[in-house]
Amino acid sequence: MITEIGKFSVIGPLGKGNFGFVFHVLDPLLDAERAVKVIMLEEAYTAEEFIESFNEAKILEMCRHTHIVEVKEVDVYEFKGRKLPCITTEYLKNGSVQGLLEKQFVSVQDTCKTIIDVLFGLEHAHSQNIHHRDIKPGNILYNDNWRAKLSDFGLAFGLEGQAFNFAGYNAHLPPEVLANTAQDELSDIYSLGITFYRMINNLVSLDIPYINKQQLLKAINKEKFPDRLYSDHIPDAVKKIVNKAMKPDRSKRFMSCLAFRQAIQKIKFGIDWRPIDQTNWTGIHNSQKYTLQLFETKKSKYSIEFKRNERRVQEYCYVNILDEATAVSEFYKLISYTTLHI
């Protein structure tokens, strides 16, 4: 078990990045928690490879922003008997979007707030001619106030003299990258669109059901991957934005992070709904508490009860619905509608 990395005391592992291991550590001199990425170079690495191993840190230094993880320092430390380059960044204790999806339901409003934060950071990176190229739930972290920060620039491209190669996470790659024809700002927008799609639908993973890249590319171009199926509680206005970000035709995507962000910001949100179970949801809007319940009556009919601060709101209550399918449909229509209107 690793207990020390250079001057740092290891608290525990945080995961494995594109080029190495990431640890949660304590800087004893500053009494500050940090994250350290150990870059795992080959045994016989060259001087050029050693210098390139710090590209991520250089990019983070270039792209300092409220919504991008902050680089603290770089150094060379001994790790498992080898001297290896290490990049130290701020430690964000609330973890990643991936971790959040694995633990709990993520609401429509929380999803949109996260994507807006990331778009601010990504817009800044693009202004520095940096392309992230690996946007996915595991690479979006939360600070103490649950504001999102884009992290892991290990595959990022844009430094002067940096050699270009196509890169990224297959399930989030746009068709132009799979076809080896382009990888740029619009490619990042597509990958963030896939991340948006996963968050809004609370998808922990996005499995590729195809046996080769050619089949995957064909499915993406026909908009069959992802399948564009959405949970019933999601409003059409939000789905429209996600679908545009995921357009396989580059000319039909958002042309910039600014345009993408402004499309989300134009939405006026109502109730921030979350499920207690399938037939009971609770929400908040302007410090008022809302509940929505679907239940079967003694007469084998169905009713929907909508309450604000424990008082029925007659306008949104339904009684004596004749069949369950209709009742469920009306129940989710109410959630979708009041997510934007109240």
Q: Which residues are catalytic?
A: 134
Question: Which residues, 6 or more positions from 123, have their beta carbon under 8 angstroms from its beta carbon?
Answer: 256, 257, 258, 261
Question: What whole-number distance in Å separates Cα of residue 21 and Cα of residue 34?
Answer: 14
| Beta bridge mates, 170 | none
3-state SS of the chain? CCCEECCEEEEEEEEECCCEEEEEEEECCCCEEEEEEEECCCCCCCHHHHHHCCHHHHHHHHCCCCCECCEEEEEEEEECCEEEEEEEEECCCCCEHHHHHHHCCCCHHHHHHHHHHHHHHHHHHHHCCCECCCCCHHHEEECCCCCEEECCCCCCECCCCCCCCCCCCHHHCCHHHHCCCCCCHHHHHHHHHHHHHHHHCCCCCCCCCCCCHHHHHHHHHCCCCCCCCCCCCCCHHHHHHHHHHCCCCHHHCCCCHHHHHHHHHCCCCCCEEEEEECCEEEEEECCEEEEEEEEECCCCCEEEEEEECCEECHHHCEEEECCHHHHHHHHHHHHHHHHHCC
